[in-house]
Chain A
């Protein structure tokens, strides 16, 4: 597939990297020569220097025969203009753009082929704030990902000594909780993946990925670690777009305080938010944190756009007694550095954004793609089409499906007459047409095989 990416920032760069390794033709357009050169030296892509929305620059990037345009420059208007031009002049079939400003996002009817032709809108701020809101729902989880509109979730937890299942074989889970249906999709032990079998023993320190219906998540987590109390008091450092959106989402259920450096922004925040307490000051000001009872805070979220400031204020908050700290980190090198130490959860905005971009870039009918473990692993929700003759999965039992090495099916969501049904992928479940199949891949390079597996063969149409 030929993909043109506009903007070589953090999102554009990581997306190019992720896609280039999947045998796509990637053209990256940016006005900054230095960044482009660095990327070109590292990954196998074609680069064009110039203003991203100018038709001549786009033409140079080969927009005429591109399948997908991804506009992720820092400027909303440039992204929108580029999509408009790609649509009007070059008839690009799929146009994906990042639009940040909520004033635009308020009017979904704006993004339509008659007005601004954008097929898919990506708003990293929105994705990240939704992601954090999900994490807040399940205290103790390292990661919570939605499938099938949130009916099924993939949760990552660290197994801790004291959880009933720790030190036991996986099949013990079934005996212990006969009513709860769940499936462990993968276990990472000392950063190495293990494909779980019934006799796999869970050890303390294992990172366990399991899939379950939303209502069962809490029960499964209680098997792997002692359950934590629900969160109540939240302090957010940084009142940018992510902080504001998150505070808006959380303020009715939690007691939220938000710390912001700029007084002008504070006034704006206090107008937008109704129950949140807006504090003017620096998040790394020890006096301020103590005054606001940091020691009784359940979650401290560092969400400014400065990685170093986030890390420092998180470390300080943890030292002063915050129960959990979550930190927004853009620089991928830092993520490995800090996660699991003083900082409980490192949140990488690119990983979120890339997952949702990949959904649209992939072949096959992908509903959700979540990039995991810094892009090494992946969880995908794919729809099975066709019938027994044309499809390699429909009509087969799960144990008979020829999955590539390192891939496992976690669950199936089936639309029935009385609503949708969540089936855990036990070996004897038979896949039907239009099932949403949730597949976990330990190695992202296997994605192509999964795509092929779910593609409908000739003769279907």
Chain B
């Protein structure tokens, strides 16, 4: 492995990342909440480490190769996750252990949105702002990695998107494509965030809340500055609707946004079969859950519709905002929502989970088996967007699905072994593996009550989910490290 090249990448990355600690310092000074010393310390440590890694190799002119992509992508979350935890560790308020700090930091960066902190409303503003900002930067990483790197590495059938991404494809070097694609994607991401923030502010949020929630909405993260999450604004329907719209927009393949942005058209959205499927899924599930809420007389018809759709969009996009304490709803609803979250939203978006396109491929190959039983000689291809999907890709998707389910079972049993009850263990693992956030049982409102050991495994689950499992697993195979 070419350590020097990777060290250089992370040197630069940490140096840049240290700059993201400057806005919280400004926020801290503005609100005079006495946390700026923690951020200054974290800034210094990160900057010095970054420069320390970068300076010795700064004039190295060697390109990254596809193979290095696995290492860089995995280390990206690990290293930034650890350094991102520094402010939580250093700051006296909230008083978090190292485990909790890293959990919070990784949960933010992977845009999971699971929190261990309670009493958010009384926390220093700088810490609150920092949590939201972590999610926002995490979201950028998710998009760039999902659209530029994973397709190239061919993780879990995502090479399906290889051809649809602009830029030179056959190149084995990472840089030119990423630089080009990433820049455009970041622009779209920033525009969406600004629109979302303005929307929130216009609908009645304070500037602080509008910025913070715009960060976590577009990232489909799910952190909030209030313990009640979006439920704090449940009386303001405009805010709820804006939140639904932007969660949904951010859960669509950014490749489609990119195309819309460049060709000034919106027709192509409906031509994309994953998008169509996802819209149908949301409409179907939203109506079903709204009707259920209404029939059981939990809300008035209007509120049933609002909370039904809000919760469906929030969980299926894996944002994980709560408009209501849905874990207290009739047990069918939280489980149905959790299943939607495990499926997730479109590939190439800020959402987590298995991804709709993989779900479609699995469904279609299931139907194909059925058809083959009836017509033994039939040639039945699996098509996405009217094109045949090569068997190699369906195989990869099945492999991904198998490993996903297997990881889920193994992690669940481990978390149960650490002493958590069945419901808590199964739902927290599912929630973290799909980067949703909320779970049921003891973790219904926050993860503070989960034991230390279990938290480490949940951190692992979040990373595995974000890295589409294989990116992380491949690093554990001996063959990968052999020359």
Tell me, in angstroms, the Cα distance from A281 to B379 when the chains sit together.
10
Tell me, in angstroms, the Cα distance from A291 to B381 when the chains sit together.
20
Contact pick for B375, options A263, A274, A277, CB 8 Å: A277
> Are the CB atoms of A281 and B377 closer together than 8 Å?
yes
**B476: CB under 8 A from chain A?**
no
Tell me, in angstroms, the Cα distance from A278 to B383 when the chains sit together.
14
**A180: CB under 8 A from chain B?**
no
> Are the CB atoms of A278 and B378 closer together than 8 Å?
yes
Tell me, in angstroms, the Cα distance from A291 to B378 when the chains sit together.
11
Tell me, in angstroms, the Cα distance from A439 to B383 when the chains sit together.
50
CB contacts under 8 Å to A, within B55-105, are none
**A270: CB under 8 A from chain B?**
yes
Q: Which A residues are in CB contact (< 8 Å) with B376?
A: 291
**B388: CB under 8 A from chain A?**
yes
CB contacts under 8 Å to A, within B364-398, are 371, 375-381, 383, 386-388
Q: What's the nearest-Cβ distance from chain A to residue B60, in Å?
A: 47
Q: Which A residues are in CB contact (< 8 Å) with B387?
A: 271
Q: Which A residues are in CB contact (< 8 Å) with B371?
A: 277
Q: Which A residues are in CB contact (< 8 Å) with B380?
A: 270, 277-278
Q: What's the nearest-Cβ distance from chain B to residue A264, in Å?
A: 10
Tell me, in angstroms, the Cα distance from A157 to B469 when the chains sit together.
67
> Are the CB atoms of A267 and B388 closer together than 8 Å?
yes
Contact pick for B381, options A267, A279, A281, A292, CB 8 Å: A267
> Are the CB atoms of A271 and B383 closer together than 8 Å?
yes
Tell me, in angstroms, the Cα distance from A359 to B386 when the chains sit together.
39
Tell me, in angstroms, the Cα distance from A278 to B378 when the chains sit together.
5
> Are the CB atoms of B388 and A291 closer together than 8 Å?
no
Tell me, in angstroms, the Cα distance from A263 to B371 when the chains sit together.
18
Q: What's the nearest-Cβ distance from chain B to residue A313, in Å?
A: 15
Tell me, in angstroms, the Cα distance from A263 to B379 when the chains sit together.
8
Q: What's the nearest-Cβ distance from chain B to residue A243, in Å?
A: 14
Q: Which A residues are in CB contact (< 8 Å) with B377?
A: 279-281, 288, 291-292
Tell me, in angstroms, the Cα distance from A270 to B376 when the chains sit together.
15
> Are the CB atoms of B383 and A277 closer together than 8 Å?
no
Q: What's the nearest-Cβ distance from chain B to residue A428, in Å?
A: 57
CB contacts under 8 Å to B, within A162-209, are none
> Are the CB atoms of A279 and B383 closer together than 8 Å?
no
Which single residue of chain B is at the shortest CB-CB distance from A263? B379
Q: What's the nearest-Cβ distance from chain A to residue B370, in Å?
A: 13
CB contacts under 8 Å to B, within A238-262, are 257
Q: Which B residues are in CB contact (< 8 Å) with A263?
A: 379
Tell me, in angstroms, the Cα distance from A266 to B377 when the chains sit together.
11
> Are the CB atoms of B375 and A271 closer together than 8 Å?
no
Question: Which of B376, B379, B388 has the most chain A CB within a 10 Å cutoff?
Answer: B379
Q: Which A residues are in CB contact (< 8 Å) with B379?
A: 263, 266-267, 269-270, 278-280
Tell me, in angstroms, the Cα distance from A278 to B377 when the chains sit together.
8
Q: What's the nearest-Cβ distance from chain A to residue B64, in Å?
A: 36
Which single residue of chain A is at the shortest CB-CB distance from B387? A271
Q: What's the nearest-Cβ distance from chain B to residue A263, in Å?
A: 7
Tell me, in angstroms, the Cα distance from A36 to B273 when the chains sit together.
55
Tell me, in angstroms, the Cα distance from A292 to B378 when the chains sit together.
10
> Are the CB atoms of A270 and B388 closer together than 8 Å?
yes
Tell me, in angstroms, the Cα distance from A376 to B13 when the chains sit together.
85
Q: Which A residues are in CB contact (< 8 Å) with B386?
A: 271, 274
Q: What's the nearest-Cβ distance from chain A to residue B267, in Å?
A: 20
Q: Which B residues are in CB contact (< 8 Å) with A280?
A: 377-379
Q: What's the nearest-Cβ distance from chain B to residue A295, in Å?
A: 16
> Are the CB atoms of B375 and A270 closer together than 8 Å?
no
> Are the CB atoms of B375 and A292 closer together than 8 Å?
yes
Q: What's the nearest-Cβ distance from chain A to residue B359, in Å?
A: 21
Tell me, in angstroms, the Cα distance from A395 to B378 when the chains sit together.
61
Tell me, in angstroms, the Cα distance from A75 to B386 when the chains sit together.
30
Q: What's the nearest-Cβ distance from chain A to residue B14, in Å?
A: 48
Which single residue of chain B is at the shortest CB-CB distance from A266? B379
Q: Which B residues are in CB contact (< 8 Å) with A266?
A: 379
> Are the CB atoms of A279 and B388 closer together than 8 Å?
no
Q: Which B residues are in CB contact (< 8 Å) with A279?
A: 375, 377-379
Q: What's the nearest-Cβ distance from chain A to residue B326, in Å?
A: 40
Tell me, in angstroms, the Cα distance from A277 to B374 when the chains sit together.
11
Question: Which of B371, B380, B387 has the most chain A CB within a 10 Å cutoff?
Answer: B380
Q: Which A residues are in CB contact (< 8 Å) with B388?
A: 267, 270-271
Question: Which of A267, A269, A270, A288 has the most chain B CB within a 10 Å cutoff?
Answer: A270
Tell me, in angstroms, the Cα distance from A257 to B378 when the chains sit together.
9
CB contacts under 8 Å to B, within A270-303, are 270-271, 274, 277-281, 288, 291-292
Which single residue of chain A is at the shortest CB-CB distance from B380? A270
Q: Which A residues are in CB contact (< 8 Å) with B375?
A: 257, 277, 279, 291-292
Which single residue of chain A is at the shortest CB-CB distance from B388? A271
Tell me, in angstroms, the Cα distance from A274 to B381 when the chains sit together.
10
Tell me, in angstroms, the Cα distance from A271 to B387 when the chains sit together.
6
Question: Which of B371, B377, B386 has the most chain A CB within a 10 Å cutoff?
Answer: B377
CB contacts under 8 Å to A, within B383-435, are 383, 386-388
Q: What's the nearest-Cβ distance from chain A to residue B419, in Å?
A: 53
Q: What's the nearest-Cβ distance from chain A to residue B371, in Å?
A: 8
Tell me, in angstroms, the Cα distance from A269 to B378 when the chains sit together.
11
Q: What's the nearest-Cβ distance from chain A to residue B225, in Å?
A: 49
Contacts known (A267-B388, A271-B388); A277 close to B381, Cβ less than 8 A: no
Q: Which B residues are in CB contact (< 8 Å) with A271?
A: 381, 383, 386-388
Contact with A along B155-188 (1 / 0, CB 8 A): 0000000000000000000000000000000000
Tell me, in angstroms, the Cα distance from A288 to B375 when the chains sit together.
9
Which single residue of chain A is at the shortest CB-CB distance from B376? A291
Tell me, in angstroms, the Cα distance from A263 to B380 when the chains sit together.
11
Q: What's the nearest-Cβ distance from chain B to residue A272, in Å?
A: 9
Q: What's the nearest-Cβ distance from chain B to residue A191, in Å?
A: 41
Tell me, in angstroms, the Cα distance from A287 to B377 when the chains sit together.
11
Q: Which B residues are in CB contact (< 8 Å) with A257?
A: 375
Tell me, in angstroms, the Cα distance from A278 to B387 when the chains sit together.
16
Q: What's the nearest-Cβ distance from chain A to residue B111, in Å?
A: 37
Residues of chain B whose beta carbon lies under 8 Å from any beta carbon of chain A: 371, 375-381, 383, 386-388
Q: What are 18 A-B pairs with beta-carbon distances under 8 A?
A: A263-B379, A267-B379, A270-B380, A270-B388, A271-B383, A271-B386, A271-B388, A274-B383, A277-B375, A277-B380, A278-B378, A278-B379, A278-B380, A279-B378, A279-B379, A280-B379, A288-B377, A291-B377
Supply 15 further A-B pairs (C-beta < 8 A) apart from A263-B379, A270-B388, A291-B375: A266-B379, A267-B381, A270-B381, A271-B381, A271-B383, A271-B386, A274-B383, A274-B386, A279-B377, A279-B378, A279-B379, A280-B378, A280-B379, A291-B376, A292-B377
The 10 closest A-B pairs by CB, nearest first: A266-B379, A278-B379, A279-B377, A281-B377, A270-B381, A271-B388, A280-B379, A270-B379, A279-B378, A280-B377
